[in-house]
């Protein structure tokens, strides 16, 4: 039993490395919520994802990601992930960026000096206001990229799960 789990975990971690530079595309089908634990939704590959109910109610993490995005990212990336003259539209970027690449890009930042003009994505790897909410940011932007999440503040959201409160206390305090 354990051996089988270990093997499938290995298989999962090898695939992204092999495919890292091949075109990868996300879509609504891949992002469909396949399971849920304590109010956090996962797709069939086990990556965090959003859940939008028919009446527009979003899961807690999507709502939280909306708020975090607009406090830490929108100054450069524009409201609702639509981009600006300075930084790319993350609502487009996430159509072809997987979870692991998103995490490492936000943690490490990026500097692009091509074309003479320097554009800099700061590294947020030691910023608790960002990394304690990195999955929230990811699922919000994923919902904007491949879900039907409209622009603006989601009108209705699920209650904050106890697991989110516990994780927040541990991450922000530790």
Helix (H, G, I), strand (E, B) or coil at 41: strand
Pick the closer one to ligand HEC by CB: 132 or 137.
Answer: 137
Angstrom distance (rounded) from CA 42 to CA 31: 8
Distances from the Cα of 81 to the Cα of 46, 118, 148, 152, 155, angstroms: 24, 21, 14, 10, 17
The distance from CA 95 to its chain's CA centroid, rounded to whole angstroms, is: 11
Pick the closer one to ligand HEC by CB: 57 or 107.
Answer: 107
Pick the closer one to ligand HEC by CB: 151 or 156.
Answer: 151
| Shortest Å distance, C-beta 95 to ligand HEC | 10
Pick the closer one to ligand HEC by CB: 41 or 133.
Answer: 133
Helix (H, G, I), strand (E, B) or coil at 119: strand
Pick the closer one to ligand HEC by CB: 35 or 112.
Answer: 112
Binding site for ligand HEC (CB under 6 A): 72-73, 75-77, 86-88, 90, 93, 102, 105-106, 110, 112, 119-122, 124, 130, 137
| Shortest Å distance, C-beta 157 to ligand HEC | 20
Query: What are the backbone dihedrals phi and psi of residue 70, each rounded to the nearest 5 degrees, phi first?
Result: -75, -10
| Shortest Å distance, C-beta 97 to ligand HEC | 6
Beta strand spans in 17-118 (E): 35-37, 40-42, 48-49, 110-112
| Shortest Å distance, C-beta 162 to ligand HEC | 25
| Shortest Å distance, C-beta 57 to ligand HEC | 24
Burial 42-71, CB ≥16 within 10 A → b, else e: ebeeebbbbbbeeeeebbbbbbbbbebbee
């Amino acid at each position: 039993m354990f051996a089988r789990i270990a093997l499938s975990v290995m298989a999962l971690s090898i695939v992204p490395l092999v495919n890292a530079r091949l075109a990868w595309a996300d879509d609504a089908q891949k992002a469909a919520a396949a399971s849920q634990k304590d109010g956090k939704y996962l797709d069939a590959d086990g990556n965090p994802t959003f859940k939008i109910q028919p009446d527009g109610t979003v899961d807690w993490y999507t709502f939280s990601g909306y708020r975090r995005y607009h406090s830490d990212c929108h100054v450069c990336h524009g409201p609702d992930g639509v981009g600006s003259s300075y930084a790319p539209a993350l609502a487009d970027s996430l159509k072809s960026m997987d979870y692991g690449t998103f995490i490492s890009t936000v943690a490490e930042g990026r500097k692009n000096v091509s074309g003479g003009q320097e554009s800099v994505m700061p590294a947020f790897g030691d910023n608790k206001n960002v990394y304690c909410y990195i999955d929230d940011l990811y699922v919000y932007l994923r919902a904007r990229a491949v879900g039907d999440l409209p622009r603006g503040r989601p009108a209705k959201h699920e209650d904050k799960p106890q697991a989110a409160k516990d994780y927040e206390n541990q991450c922000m305090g530790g």
